[in-house]
Chain A
Amino acid sequence: MTAKNELTKSLMASIWFMFLTFPIMVIRVNTVTDTIEWRWQNMFAVGFGAFFLSMLWRYLIRKKEMSGKKDSQSRKSPIYQVIRDQKFALPGLAAIAVFTILFPHIFSMYQTNIMISALIYVMLGLGLNIVIGLAGLLDLGYVAFFAVGAYSYALLNLHYGITFWIALPLGGLLGAVAGIILGYPVLRLRGDYLAIVTLGFGEIIRLVMENWNEFSFGPSGIANIPKPGFFGMELSLHATTIYIFYTIVALVIFTIFVINRLENSRIGRAWIALKDDEIACQAMGIDKARTKLRAFALGATWAGMGGVVFAAKTTFINPASFTIWESVIILCTVVLGGMGSIPGVICGAMLLILLPEYLRDFGEFRMITFGSVLVLMMVFRPGGMIENVRKTYQFKK
C-alpha cells in the first residue's frame, strides 16, 4: 500500500515537472527555417529525473525525521564532536596554522587574493553573528557598517593622509558609532519590523554614498587607496598581498578570541537572555536598551574594521560594492554555518565565498547551484553546518 502510494506520488511529481518544463524543454522554434522542433527525448529525461529525485527526496526527509527522534546528545553534529575532541583539536589547529602560514607562499597571488576576500567575510560573519546569533536581532543592513569602514579609510586617507594602521581602529570606532545610530531608533522593534528597518538603513547608506558627490565622489568612487605600508617601507605588489593576508589572518584570530570571550561574559549572557525572552530579561534586571545597543555597536565594529581592510585590499571602492546582496551573503554565512557557532560561521563564510569563485566554470548555473545548496541546507540541517552547542552547566552529583 505505502509502496504504491510512494510510486503514485513520484509519478505525479514527474508528470507535473514534464508539464511545467514542456514549453522550454521540448518546444524549440527554429527562427531560421521557421519550423518547430519537438524534442520529446528531453521530456522523458525530465520525467525520469523528477521521478527518481522525488523518490530520493522523500527518502531523505523520512530518514531525517527518524533521526530527529533520537535524544539530543547523539544529535550533536559529528563535526562538532571532532572539534571538541582533544585528540583531534590540537593537531588539527596546528595543521590549520601551518597551512595558513604557508598558504601565500604555496599558492598563486590569485588564490591568495580570493582567500583574503574569504577571510574578510569570515570577519563580517563573526561580527554579524554577535547581532543575530547571540542577541537574536535580525539585521539585514549589515553591509552599511562595512561601507562605513571602507569609506572612512578612503576618505580619511584622501583628506588627511591617515595611514592604514590608524584607520583600522578608527574604522571600527566609526562602525560602532553607526551601529549605535541605527540601534537607537530600533530599540523597540523585534523580528520582522527590525529586519525591515535595518534593510532600509543599509540602502540609505548606499544611496547617500552614491548621490552625495561632494562627499563620497558618487558612483565613480574613490581610487588609489594606498595599501598598508610596513613601517614606512614601500612593498612590492606581491609582498603587499602577502602582508594583507597575514594582517587579515591576525584580525580574524583577534575577532575569534574577543567573540569567544564575549560569549561567556556577562554581556553574552544578557544577549542570550534577550534572545530567549524579553520580558523575563527585564524582570532579571537586565537593561534591555543598553544590551541591544551593545550588540549593534560590537557587531558593527568588526564590519567597520573589515571595511578598512577591504578598501586597502582593492584600492578602489564605490557604492556598488555595498549593495543589499552583500548583506544577504553575510547573513547566509551566519545562517548556513550555524547561528551562534564560531567554527560554523567560519566554515560558512569560506564555503559561500570560495564556492562561487571556484564555480565560475559553471557560468550561469552558478547561482542555481548556490541557491539549491541553501535550500537543501535549510531542509536537512536547519541548525547550520556546525550547529552551535552552548556551554551548559552540567551538574553531577
Chain B
Amino acid sequence: MLKIRNIDAFYGNIHALKNISMDIEKGEIISLIGANGAGKSTTLMTICGVVPARGGEITFEGTAINNMATDKIVALGINQVPEGRHIFPYLTVMENLDMGAFLRSDARGIKQDMDYIFTLFPRLAERRNQAGGTLSGGEQQMLAISRAIMTRPRLLLLDEPSLGLAPIVTRQIFEIIKKINQENKTTIFLVEQNANLALHISDRGYVMETGSITMTDTGRNLLANEDVKKAYLGI
C-alpha cells in the first residue's frame, strides 16, 4: 500500500532521516518504535509532505506522493493524527468532527460515520456540544482520532496517541485503534514511545535509532527480542 524507498530528510543541516525504506501492506497495523529524537515523527511528517523528502521515493497505491502538497496527500486517503492532538479548541466536538469531513460532500455517509464514532466513543457523544478545548486529555485524543476517521482514511497515521495520558486511558485508546483496524480495514501506522503496548497490537514493527531503521520483524518477535527488551521495554 505505502512504499518508502531510500528516503532522506533534513532539518537545516541536521540529517534527520538516513536512507529509510519501509513497506506497509493493506489492513496491517505497523508500529514504529524508538527513543526520543530517533526520527519517528519526522518519518510521519515526511510521508505527509510537511517535511520534504530528499532523494528516494514514497508511493501510495502506485502514486508517487513525495513532493506533493499535504492537502493533496490527505485527499488521496492518508490522514495523520498529529502529535499533541491539535484539535480545534474553540469548535465544539460536533464541529471538530464536521471539520474532519471537510473534503467530503456525502451528507448521509458523514452522518453514518458520526454515529459510528459515537458508538466507538460514548464519551464524545455525551460531550458533543462542548468546546474541544474544554475536554480532558484522553477525550481530546479520542476526538483527534475520531476527526481523522471522519476523513475516511485508508491509511491512518498516529503520532504518539499515548502522549500525556494515564495508563488506563492509553490502554482504552489502543483497544479502539485495534477495533478501527479490524472493523473498517483501515491500515494503521503507529508511532509510539510505549513500545510494549504498541508492539502487542501490531502485526509488524520497525525499530528506529538516530535516523535509520535498525530492525524489523513481526510484533511478537520484536517483543521477544533481547535487544528490544533491553533498550525499549526496560526488561
Residues of A at the B interface (CB closer than 8 Å) are: 266, 269-270, 272-273, 276-277, 279-280, 282-288, 392-395
A393 near B94 with CB under 8 A, answer yes
Instruction: Give CA–CA (A82, B199) in the complex, Å.
Output: 58
Residues on B with C-beta less than 8 A from A269 are 98-99, 102
A276 near B74 with CB under 8 A, answer no
Give the interface segment out of B7-15, B85-93, B172-180: B85-93
Interface membership of B81, Cβ < 8 A = yes
What string of 1s and 0s marks CB contacts (under 8 Å) between B90-121 and chain A?
11101100111011000000000000000000
Interface membership of B226, Cβ < 8 A = no
Shortest C-beta distance, B192 to chain A (Å), equals 18
Contact of A283 among B69, B80, B92 (CB under 8 A): B80
Shortest C-beta distance, A328 to chain B (Å), equals 27
A285 near B71 with CB under 8 A, answer yes
Interface membership of B129, Cβ < 8 A = yes
Residues on A with C-beta less than 8 A from B89 are 276-277
What are some 10 contacts across the A-B interface (CB < 8 A)? A272-B88, A276-B91, A280-B82, A282-B48, A282-B50, A282-B70, A283-B74, A284-B74, A284-B100, A392-B129
Instruction: Give CA–CA (A273, B82) in the complex, Å.
Output: 15
Interface membership of B151, Cβ < 8 A = yes
A273 near B88 with CB under 8 A, answer yes
Contact of B151 among A277, A284, A392 (CB under 8 A): A284
In the complex, the number of residue pairs spanning A and B with C-beta atoms less than 8 Å apart equals: 74
A279 near B86 with CB under 8 A, answer yes
Given contacts A282-B71, A283-B148, A286-B71, whether A393 and B98 have CB atoms under 8 Å apart is yes
Contact of B82 among A266, A279, A287 (CB under 8 A): A279
Shortest C-beta distance, B103 to chain A (Å), equals 4
B80 near A284 with CB under 8 A, answer no
Q: How large is the interface on B (under 10, 10 to 19, 20 to 34, 35 or more residues)?
A: 20 to 34
Residues on A with C-beta less than 8 A from B75 are 285
Given contacts A273-B88, A282-B50, A392-B129, whether A288 and B71 have CB atoms under 8 Å apart is yes
Instruction: Tell me the nearest residue of chain B to A291, going by C-beta.
Output: B71
B80 near A277 with CB under 8 A, answer no
Residues on A with C-beta less than 8 A from B99 are 269, 273, 280, 284
Shortest C-beta distance, A373 to chain B (Å), equals 28
Shortest C-beta distance, A277 to chain B (Å), equals 5
Given contacts A270-B102, A392-B129, A393-B95, whether A283 and B79 have CB atoms under 8 Å apart is yes
Contact of A284 among B90, B102, B129 (CB under 8 A): B102
Given contacts A277-B87, A279-B82, whether A284 and B128 have CB atoms under 8 Å apart is no
Residues on A with C-beta less than 8 A from B94 are 393, 395
Given contacts A273-B102, A276-B91, whether A285 and B82 have CB atoms under 8 Å apart is no
A394 near B129 with CB under 8 A, answer yes
Instruction: Give CA–CA (A392, B90) in the complex, Å.
Output: 11
Given contacts A285-B75, A285-B151, A393-B129, whether A276 and B90 have CB atoms under 8 Å apart is yes
Shortest C-beta distance, A280 to chain B (Å), equals 4
B88 near A277 with CB under 8 A, answer yes
Instruction: Tell me the nearest residue of chain A to B87, going by C-beta.
Output: A280
Shortest C-beta distance, A340 to chain B (Å), equals 11
Instruction: Supply 6 further A-B pairs (C-beta < 8 A) apart from A285-B71, A285-B102, A393-B98.
Output: A277-B87, A279-B86, A280-B82, A283-B80, A283-B81, A288-B70
Residues on B with C-beta less than 8 A from A392 are 92, 95, 129
Shortest C-beta distance, A191 to chain B (Å), equals 16
Interface membership of B40, Cβ < 8 A = no
Interface membership of B147, Cβ < 8 A = yes
Q: Which B residues, 35 to 65, have Cβ-Cβ distances below 8 Å to chain A? A: 48, 50
Shortest C-beta distance, B76 to chain A (Å), equals 9
Shortest C-beta distance, B122 to chain A (Å), equals 13
Shortest C-beta distance, B82 to chain A (Å), equals 5
Q: Which B residues, 125 to 177, have Cβ-Cβ distances below 8 Å to chain A? A: 128-129, 147-148, 151
A286 near B102 with CB under 8 A, answer yes
Shortest C-beta distance, A354 to chain B (Å), equals 32
The winner among B50, B71, B98, B147 for most chain A CB atoms within 10 A is B71
Residues on B with C-beta less than 8 A from A273 are 88, 91, 99, 102
Instruction: Give CA–CA (A288, B70) in the complex, Å.
Output: 9
